[in-house]
Structure 1
Amino acid sequence: MEPEVFVDILSDALFIVIKLVSAIVIPGLLIGLVVAVFQAATSINEQTLSFLPRLIITIMALIAGGHWITQVLMDYFNLLVMRIPEIAG
């Protein structure tokens, strides 16, 4: 049971979390930037105008990437299960 195994598992988990979260957050950030530029150009200060498009894009990103997110998590879980003998032995 070497400490490097746990460091590898933790680094893989953090990389997967960053990858999955960025796939959901980045589209919302881009739409938020577009809406903010539109609001600045037109002097419209409506709060729902900035919130609703980000919400819709985030939900669409979850719908579009849901299968991929589930597959990545399942692959990582299977990798962890396969590494149990390496950790325990």
Structure 2
Amino acid sequence: MESQQVLTIARDGLLTLLIVCGPIVLVVLAVGLVVSIFQAATQIHEATLSFVPKLLAAFATLGLAGPWMLSTLVDYIRGVLLSIPSVVG
């Protein structure tokens, strides 16, 4: 097993992680920014007001982008499992 193969698999794993988690993180970040601006403008500082919209946005994004995320993860895992013989042998 060569270290270059292991590093390639690890790099691809981290890249896949960023690609899959990116949409959820960006949507939650945008919703959090909008809610924070709303709270600052209205001077309402309720903790649940910032938490609930972000949670709903995360679930909505997961519902909309879930199939794409799952297929991306399955493609990565399939590639890792198919590369086992070349890494071991």
TM interval, shorter chain, is over 0.9
Question: How many Å separate the matches in 2 of 1:81 and 1:39?
Answer: 48
CA distance in 1, matches of 2:2, 2:47: 52
Q: How does 1:40-55 map to 2 (within 5 A)?
A: 40-55=40-55
Output the amino acid matched with 1:78.
R
1:21 aligned partner: 21
Q: Aligned pairs, how many?
A: 89
C-alpha separation in 2, matches of 1:53 and 1:2? 47
Please provide the CA RMSD for this pair.
1.0
- Aligned pairs for 1:1-89 within 5 A: 1-89=1-89
User: Sequence identity of aligned pairs in percent?
Assistant: 38
Tell me, in whole angstroms, the C-alpha distance in 1 between the residues paired with 2:47 and 2:81. 46
Supply the distance in 1 between the matched residues of 2:80 and 2:39 (Cα, whole angstroms): 47
Scaled by the length of structure 2, the TM-score of the pair is: 0.93
Structure 2: which 5+ residue stretches go unaligned? Answer: none
Structure 1: unaligned runs, 5 residues or longer? none
Q: CA deviation at 1:5?
A: 0.1
